């Protein structure tokens, strides 16, 4: 019996998606809950798994096709253990087993996953040079990602060196190679949103610096005990910054608000988005009701989000909403930057690299671990005075972390 494979139901915030990659070809054996195809939306990559055991009978949508909610993608012959007959798969891609049985040395590159083939084309890689680690020697996307071209052997003689110099152009006089790759749907959407922010908000950034000495000493003193007490959760700085932001948002509710037409929406909760960079682009999962979370639960939540982001497992719901965002460019070495507001929010906090610098303390020059803070805000709603006071509040809380723990 043929079983249909359909795209998942998209939430209201997602209109459509793009079929990113097939992980199986027509004629391949599949198992229930095995990943079959990925659909990329504006916000996240959705995984579609096999609904039953059987053989992938036919593929109805190709990579790059625009996909609607619940649209039919393919069919599985439930319970089948062999590939469908040629009559049923005249347009289907041969399976790895079929290729292995019939391919000659000239067409061995056919034993490759569609996603891997597409990536190889984008990177200009000859798949004949790639060693497949998949079933039956099939080349997977990971094989292409990890592929490193062999370094050409050095000339054995002076004559061969001369021949090489004559026959092949040098780097100085050789051809200039360009490669054009279409933007992914997610990257295109990020580009569109960021450009829209610069054109539709009155964005302004205020800066300050924070002495990290007290917080670093506290972390050094308790990080081992903290990890043991909280089942392996690592004690970082982000937990303190999230809790400091929550307290500052309570004191300055306009920073936690958003603009809806000609109305101001005040949010009676603090949903903090934490920006996470992935290979596909920047994503912002949200810590719901961060005002009710402990530092341990914040750190654990961020760790889980980071893992999901790396594996492409974040859901749309986990990245929807948020009343305020924190981004940390310091993990990549950024000393100072002007973060872009994440609409419909009206402010964002940027953390940066901790760097030892000489500062004046009580009339004396001392060396302290300092971090620049940046707060970008929508000047249509937030005045400069309020923005500066908000950032100073975060500075004061971080420099005296006992206030965060005591909620004072």
What are the extents of the domains in the chain? Answer: 2-145, 185-406
pLDDT tops 90 at residue 316: no
379 is catalytic: yes
For residue 274, the tally of other CB atoms under 10 A from its CB is 24
Judged by DSSP in three states, 20 sits in strand
Top pLDDT among 85 and 138 is at 138
Domain 2-145 sits in CATH 1.50.10.20: no
Segment 171-191 shows an average pLDDT of 76
Say if residue 333 is exposed, middle or buried (CB neighbours under 10 Å; 0-12, 13-18, 19+): exposed
Among 305, 18, 9, which Cα is nearest to 189's? 18
pLDDT band of 45, cuts 50, 70, 90: confident
Q: Distance between CA atoms of 193 and 285, rounded to whole angstroms? A: 17
The lowest-confidence range among 68-77, 82-91, 252-261 is 82-91
pLDDT tops 80 at residue 143: no
Q: Distance between CA atoms of 342 and 274, rounded to whole angstroms? A: 11
The pLDDT of residue 173? 57
The pLDDT of residue 136? 64
Segment 384-406 shows an average pLDDT of 95
Segment 144-169 shows an average pLDDT of 52
Question: 322-370, pLDDT tens digit by residue?
Answer: 999 999 999 999 999 999 999 899 999 999 999 999 999 999 999 999 9
The pLDDT of residue 400? 96
Options 1.10.3470.10, 3.20.20.70, 3.40.640.10, 3.30.559.10; CATH of 185-406: 3.30.559.10
The lowest-confidence range among 111-125, 258-272, 384-398 is 111-125
Q: Encoding tokens for residue 77?
A: 């012959």
Q: Encoding tokens for residue 362?
A: 């009580």
The pLDDT of residue 161? 41
pLDDT band of 152, cuts 50, 70, 90: very low
Give Dmax over CA atoms of the chain in angstroms. Answer: 88
Strands (E), 168-202: none
Judged by DSSP in three states, 181 sits in coil
Could you tell me which residues are beta bridge partners of residue 394? none
Which pTM does this prediction carry?
Answer: 0.68
Judged by DSSP in three states, 280 sits in coil
The mean pLDDT value of the chain amounts to 84
Top pLDDT among 407 and 65 is at 65
pLDDT tops 80 at residue 57: yes
Positive/negative CA dihedral, 10, 14, 15, 17: negative
91 is catalytic: no
Among 81, 93, 84, 125, which Cα is nearest to 22's? 93
pLDDT tops 90 at residue 145: no
Among 76, 60, 105, 111, which Cα is nearest to 4's? 76
8-state DSSP, 60: -
Question: What percent of the chain lies above the pLDDT cut of 70?
Answer: 83
Do 240 and 226 touch, CB atoms closer than 8 A? Answer: no
8-state DSSP, 400: S
- Active-site pick, 129, 163, 196, 383: 383
Question: 270-301, pLDDT tens digit by residue?
Answer: 999 999 887 777 889 999 999 999 999 999 99
DSSP-based helix, strand, coil % in the chain, nearest 5 = 35, 25, 40
pLDDT tops 60 at residue 108: no
Do 61 and 71 touch, CB atoms closer than 8 A? Answer: yes
Could you tell me which residues are beta bridge partners of residue 368? 357
pLDDT tops 50 at residue 2: yes
Q: Distance between CA atoms of 111 and 98, rounded to whole angstroms? A: 9
Among 60-69, 134-143, 308-317, the range of highest mean pLDDT: 60-69
Q: Which residues contact 235 (CB under 8 A, 6 or more apart)?
A: 219, 222, 223, 226, 227, 295, 299
- Active-site pick, 230, 267, 379, 400: 379
């Amino acid at each position: 019996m043929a079983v249909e494979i359909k795209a998942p139901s998209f939430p209201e915030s997602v209109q459509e998606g793009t079929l990113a990659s097939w992980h199986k070809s027509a004629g391949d054996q599949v198992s229930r809950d095995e990943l079959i195809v990925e659909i990329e939306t504006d916000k996240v990559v959705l995984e579609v798994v096999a609904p039953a055991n059987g053989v992938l009978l036919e593929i109805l949508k190709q990579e790059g096709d625009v996909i609607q909610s619940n649209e039919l993608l393919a069919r599985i012959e439930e319970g089948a253990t062999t590939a469908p007959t040629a009559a049923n798969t005249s347009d289907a891609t041969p399976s790895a087993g079929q290729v292995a049985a019939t391919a000659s040395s000239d067409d061995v590159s056919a034993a490759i996953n569609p996603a891997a083939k597409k990536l190889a084309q984008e990177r200009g890689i000859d798949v004949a040079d790639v060693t497949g680690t998949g079933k039956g020697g099939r080349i997977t996307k990971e094989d292409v990602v990890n592929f490193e071209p062999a370094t050409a052997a050095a000339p054995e003689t002076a004559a061969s060196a001369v021949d090489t110099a004559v026959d092949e152009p040098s780097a100085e006089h050789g051809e200039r190679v360009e490669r054009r790759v279409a933007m992914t749907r997610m990257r295109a959407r990020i580009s569109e949103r960021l450009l829209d922010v610069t054109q539709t908000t009155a964005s302004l950034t205020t800066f300050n610096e924070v002495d990290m000495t007290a917080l670093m000493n506290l972390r050094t003193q308790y990080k081992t005990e903290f990890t043991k007490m909280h089942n392996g959760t690592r004690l970082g700085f982000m937990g303190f910054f999230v809790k400091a932001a929550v307290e500052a948002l309570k004191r300055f509710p306009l920073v936690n608000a958003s603009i809806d037409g000609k109305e101001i929406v005040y949010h009676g909760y603090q949903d903090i988005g934490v920006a996470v960079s992935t290979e596909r682009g920047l994503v912002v999962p949200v810590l719901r009701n961060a005002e009710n979370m402990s530092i341990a639960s914040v750190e654990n939540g961020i760790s889980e989000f980071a893992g999901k982001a790396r594996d492409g497992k974040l859901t749309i719901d986990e990245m929807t909403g948020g009343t305020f965002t924190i981004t940390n460019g310091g993990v990549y070495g950024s000393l100072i930057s002007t973060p872009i507001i994440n609409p419909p929010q009206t402010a964002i906090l940027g953390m940066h690299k901790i760097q030892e610098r000489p500062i004046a303390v009580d009339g004396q020059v001392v060396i302290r671990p300092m971090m620049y803070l940046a707060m970008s805000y929508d000047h249509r709603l937030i005045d400069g005075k309020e923005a500066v006071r908000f950032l100073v509040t975060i500075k004061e809380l971080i420099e005296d972390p006992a206030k965060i723990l005591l909620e004072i």
